Amino acid sequence: MPQHPKALYICSLGEVFNRFAYYGLQATLVLYVVHVFFFNNLQAYSAYGVLTTLAFCLPVLGGFITDRVFGARHSIFLGIVLTIIGALALCGTGSRALYMGLTLLIIGIGFFKPANAALLGVAYQHNPSQRESGFTLFYLAMNLGAILGPVVFGVLALRYGWRSAFIGNAAATFICLLVYVINKPSLTSPEFTKNKTHMTIAYGIIIGIIILVFLLFQFHWLFEVSFWTMCLCLITWMVLLAKQLPAITRNRLFLLLLLDLFAVFYFACQMQVGSSLMIFIDQYVHLKLFGYTIPAAVFAALEPVFVILTAPLLSPCWNLLSKQNIIIPPVARLAGGLLLGSASFWVLSYSSMIASISWLISGIVIGNALLGAGELCIGPTLTSAVTYLVPQKLTSTFMGVWFLSVALSGYLGSVLARLTETSQGIGSFQGAFQKISLIGFVAALILLAISPYLKYLRSEQIVYAETPAPYD
């Protein structure tokens, strides 16, 4: 049996540290700005919305520059260095240090994430039979980082102060840098002829991005204008592209875009884990275990934990149904994920009505378990759909469109979080969670209602074709 390449373990370790940095920051950002900078909840939700939106926008740009100018290894080192500097900048005082730290850290992650996955893909060029199992381990490493980040950040911030969490992040990322430097000879990358002019232009673009993102964190109106301008440009580009494609290919792309659009509602619900739900836990759940206080940020680790725990249960179900020639189409899986997300926030709303810590904790655990199951119904399904619905020449582009749809979820999630500010006290969270649950439920009903039209778009030869759609 062929062995996995050494690059798998290096890239997986790097992904643990990278996800640790991002999800640790995502889980604690609203608490940090509320407790240290005295932001009100609306201001905290706005900062969170910018962070989560850019976290999925910037990898698209980072991947573009990586593919055309830097190469994977260069982008990985650049991303790690920016992440370290950003984490250290967060240790400073004042809002400028806060915004610059967030800017550098999120841009660093935007360069590291696509380059690291690309580098791993190159390592399996001569061993394709192991590719799927290798990327499964890589995915588990991502979730391990997503679990460790909130836990370590939360514990360090509670016991030693906020700066200790950011210093710990910088130290962990520096260890990651050393691992890549020591093992650089083992990391093969496509040959790049470095063009000094192109490199200079790329770094000029990066400096411009740093300035823009720094301003976006400070001025929410600028973020709104920039975000909707980007969406308008993306829609215009897709319309122009569709006119050049055959009808069957246009149907496939339209189906994929509709699925992405409905997935936005699920991920907007999921984004509440680090925003409105985090504020709710911080204000109303005071849990002590064996004399120790459990940090609120630790609860953000529950959802990725249940993703890992649920995967071994759902995968055999799909395989068993497939052996019985029962194929659950993407539309049904997406609707199921939306219903699970809706049920999650119904449970959270119901448990918050009962003045009992045990009920609150049970509701939070069950709610995150439902969210984890919902993610497994949606994420892998739509990621896979890109590979067989999209023309081969456009696969990478529409994978970027998929990430941008998740970025839209970050924006919508911050909008939904503001529903918690309609009144005072715990009642505001109860009402907001009910509305979020209703939004997910209605989205699922609408999706099922238009399923006959989607069935037309997804004829058997389209959806389950063994090869992607031709370009022409």
Domains and CATH numbers, the chain: 1-218 (1.20.1250.20), 246-472 (1.20.1250.20)
Rg of the Cα trace of the chain?
Answer: 22
Say yes or no to pLDDT of 342 above 90.
Answer: yes
Say yes or no to pLDDT of 60 above 90.
Answer: no
Say yes or no to pLDDT of 345 above 90.
Answer: yes
CA–CA separation, 44 and 464 (whole Å): 44
pLDDT in tens, 137-194: 787 788 888 899 999 999 999 889 999 999 999 998 999 899 888 888 777 765 556 6
Say yes or no to pLDDT of 425 above 60.
Answer: yes
Say yes or no to pLDDT of 43 above 80.
Answer: yes
What DSSP element (H or E) covers 288?
Answer: strand 288-289
Structure tokens, 452: 């006959």
pLDDT at 464: 38
Of 459 and 51, the one with more pLDDT:
51
pLDDT in tens, 365-382: 999 999 988 988 888 777
pLDDT mean across residues, the chain: 83
pLDDT in tens, 196-226: 888 899 999 999 999 999 999 999 889 989 8
pLDDT interval class at 456 (50, 70, 90): low
Say yes or no to pLDDT of 195 above 60.
Answer: yes
Average pLDDT value for residue range 235-241: 82
pLDDT in tens, 70-124: 888 888 999 999 999 999 999 988 889 999 999 999 999 989 988 888 787 777 7
Phi, psi (deg, nearest 5) at residue 292: -110, 140
CA–CA separation, 338 and 342 (whole Å): 6
Distance of CA 37 to the CA centre of its chain: 26
What share of the chain has pLDDT > 70, as a percent? 87
What share of the chain has pLDDT > 90, as a percent? 35
What are the Cα distances from residue 280, in Å, to 150, 276, 296, 472? 16, 6, 9, 52
pLDDT interval class at 468 (50, 70, 90): very low
> Is the separation of the CB atoms in 216 and 223 below 8 Å?
yes
pLDDT interval class at 352 (50, 70, 90): confident
pLDDT in tens, 385-394: 776 777 766 7
pLDDT at 132: 60
pLDDT at 392: 63
Give just the sign of the alpha carbon dihedral 188, 194, 200, 204. negative
Structure tokens, 80: 């790690």
- Going by the DSSP 8-state scheme, the letter that residue 292 receives in this structure is E
Say yes or no to pLDDT of 463 above 60.
Answer: no
Say yes or no to pLDDT of 461 above 50.
Answer: no
What are the Cα distances from residue 83, in Å, to 50, 177, 178, 256, 277? 17, 10, 14, 33, 27
Say yes or no to pLDDT of 1 above 90.
Answer: no
pLDDT interval class at 462 (50, 70, 90): very low
Average pLDDT value for residue range 13-34: 91
CA–CA separation, 223 and 231 (whole Å): 12
Average pLDDT value for residue range 306-322: 73
pLDDT at 422: 67
**pTM of the entire predicted model:** 0.86
Name the least confident of 245-249, 354-358, 416-420. Answer: 354-358
